[in-house]
Chains A and B, each alone.
Chain A
Amino acid sequence: MQFSSSLLEDAVNEFARLPGIGKKTALRLVLHLVKQDAALVQSFGETVLKMRQEIKFCQRCCNISDADVCSICSNSMRRHEMVCVVENIRDVIAIESTQQYNGTYHVLGGIISPLDGVGPDQLNIELLINRVQKENVQELIFALNPTIQGDTTIYYIQKKLQPHSINITTIARGIAFGGELEYADEMTLARSLQNRVPVERFVNY
């Protein structure tokens, strides 16, 4: 791509470093900003800068936060004895959108996969174990992806927590809502049969 201005070129290159953005999209975004009022673009830039400079990670659960402790952890209405363990912040947002969960979270920041250079020490596991030791945590709910690495992570943390008498659960695995049985893969279907649910619980839900 040939540019008449090196200012333009630099801006395009910066945008193109964002995930999912190629050179052409970057150019479109930059040209859009060029057309905008200078004041608007200034506030755009300042918002981004401020976000990056002032954002914090909750000292308790590693969720993204404005203060030292995030709004979920500081909310006294939530059940603090219940902790949902998730891989990343996007999972917190997904679970919050269900409006069904009233406990707190713990964000691991990834899952154990030595192949990708992620061992237990790279994750917020120590922090979670400290939390269980210090706080009155009664139940740990694992909401990790149903992969081998996810399972490894669950077993690892469970082993670490064995001395503590807390309830450790994982989210159910099985047929998706609106899914059709005939299209479900055999493993999912077999698992769903193994972990079937009594109808009373199912109806009362």
Chain B
Amino acid sequence: MLLLINSISLVQFKNYPQRNFSFSSRIVGISGPNGTGKTNLLDAIYYLCFTKSYFTRSDSFNALTGTNGFRIEGQLEHNGENYKAVCILRETGKKEFMLNGNAYERFSHHIGRFPCVFIAPDDVRMITEGSEERRRFIDAILSQLDPEYLQRLMNYNKLLLQRNSYLKSVSENRLKDTSLLEVYDEQLSNDGSYIFEKRKSFMDECLGLVTGFYGKISGAAENIELKYESQLHKLDFAELLKSTRDRDLYLQRTTAGIHKDDIQILLNNQPFRNIASQGQRKSLLFALKLSEFEMLRSHKGFAPILLLDDVFEKLDESRMHNLLSWVCLDNDGQIFITDTHQQRIKEHLETLGALYQLIEL
């Protein structure tokens, strides 16, 4: 059932004019000084799983400076079958994604086929910043597990844009007849209610995992709580939109709905964001990400690819060891780890006693 990536070849991708890598082991360490392309290599792997970058929204930023297109080709293996995944950004800006030579008409159909979890230092903004990052976290997981969720989420977002644009035109043109709003409300509640139910049951499942991992990593008896905040707990979607109709018309945007959802994180009953230390934030980040990993594993029946970027910088020796032994030994999926110090990563992997491959950039 194992999912493995055996090799990858990059053309004009970020800092790589042309380069091939082959991965011979389940555990792959990547070392090299700053700016040599460690993260870029991980991002290329992420591209093959998600058809897009983990970091930038615009594909054209990922082409080598001075060029306009790129190509990523990877050989993957799953269930004993081989797959060739190719992602091409043409010079015209058009992106193509092919699996075994067949081009996808919709990239969303590929997402979830090769599940993958990326942990990067910047992800800590998921805890410290606005609710959008946390919704993105939930959506990324659910989209990989449930294609219908992804489809409905995309529908919802399109409808939201249309509704907001309509709200603007109502006030600009002083329209009297707002019956089109009722249509949008119905369409939004149809997709929105599905998303809400999925998120709710997801959060119930997630809570236990996160507290478990947090305890394991921090080794401390801290009481972590996650609460799914949504206006839909109190009202159903149609009623909710009805109740905010006047305010929406006044503000010219949709002020209620699942696009306002959030996860509230509490540490010993106080907002985590306000009182947590750097170390606690990092422990929580790993707990959230490993829960994502675990959930994908249990729903898919096999371990996703795990991409760990620069994790050594962030945790002390013993926490690092706890984390590595869990991801490398208690889990049978493929892992990529980057570090600037070749010696340090080597020692860590050596003490685990598992087979590994070290790539030096």
Contact = CB atoms under 8 A, between A and B. Distances in A.
Contacts of A160: 179
A120 B180 contact: yes
A115 B187 contact: no
Contacts of A112: 180
A148 B179 contact: no
B186 interface: yes
A148 B180 CA distance: 14
Interface stretch (B53-61, B134-142, B156-164): B156-164
B109 A185 contact: yes
A148 B161 contact: no
A148 B155 contact: yes
B106 interface: yes
Interface stretch (A9-17, A43-51, A150-158, A193-201): A150-158
A151 B161 contact: no
B166 interface: yes
A159 B166 CA distance: 17
Contacts of B165: 114-115
Most buried by B among A121, A152, A160: A152
A186 interface: yes
Contact of B187 (A119, A151, A185): A151
B183 A119 contact: no
B128 interface: no
A114 B162 contact: yes
Interface residues of B, number: 26
B313 to A, nearest CB: 42
Contacts of A114: 162-163, 165-166, 168-169
Nearest to A147: B158
Most buried by A among B162, B168, B186: B162
Query: Interface residues of B: mostly helix, strand, loop or mixed?
Result: helix
Nearest to B191: A148
Contacts of B166: 114, 119
A88 interface: no
Given A152-B162, A186-B147, A119 B179 contact: no
B151 interface: yes
Contacts of A156: 179-180, 183
B158 A148 contact: yes
A115 B162 contact: yes
A144 B180 CA distance: 18
A189 to B, nearest CB: 12
Contacts of B175: 119, 121
B356 interface: no
Nearest to B161: A115
A53 to B, nearest CB: 32
Contact of A155 (B151, B162, B163, B186): B186
Contacts of A187: 148, 151
Interface residues of A, number: 19
B159 A148 contact: yes
B182 interface: yes
Contact of A152 (B151, B168, B183): B183
B187 A159 contact: no
Contacts of A151: 187
B16 interface: no
Nearest to B147: A186
B151 A159 contact: no
Nearest to B155: A148
Given A114-B169, A119-B180, A151-B187, A185 B162 contact: no
B184 interface: yes
Contacts of A148: 155, 158-159, 162, 187
Nearest to A153: B183
A146 to B, nearest CB: 12
Given A114-B165, A114-B166, A119-B166, A159 B184 contact: no
Contacts of A25: none
Contact of A159 (B147, B155, B182): B182
Given A152-B183, A152-B187, A156-B183, 14 more contacts: A112-B180, A113-B162, A114-B163, A114-B165, A114-B166, A115-B162, A120-B177, A121-B175, A149-B162, A159-B179, A160-B179, A185-B105, A186-B109, A186-B147
23 contacts: A113-B162, A114-B162, A114-B163, A114-B165, A114-B166, A115-B165, A117-B169, A119-B169, A119-B173, A120-B177, A121-B175, A148-B155, A149-B162, A152-B180, A152-B183, A155-B183, A155-B186, A155-B187, A156-B183, A185-B109, A186-B109, A186-B147, A187-B148
Interface of B: 105-106, 109, 147-148, 151, 155, 158-159, 161-163, 165-166, 168-169, 173, 175, 177, 179-180, 182-184, 186-187
The 3 A-B pairs at the shortest CB distance, nearest first, are namely A114-B166, A114-B165, A155-B183
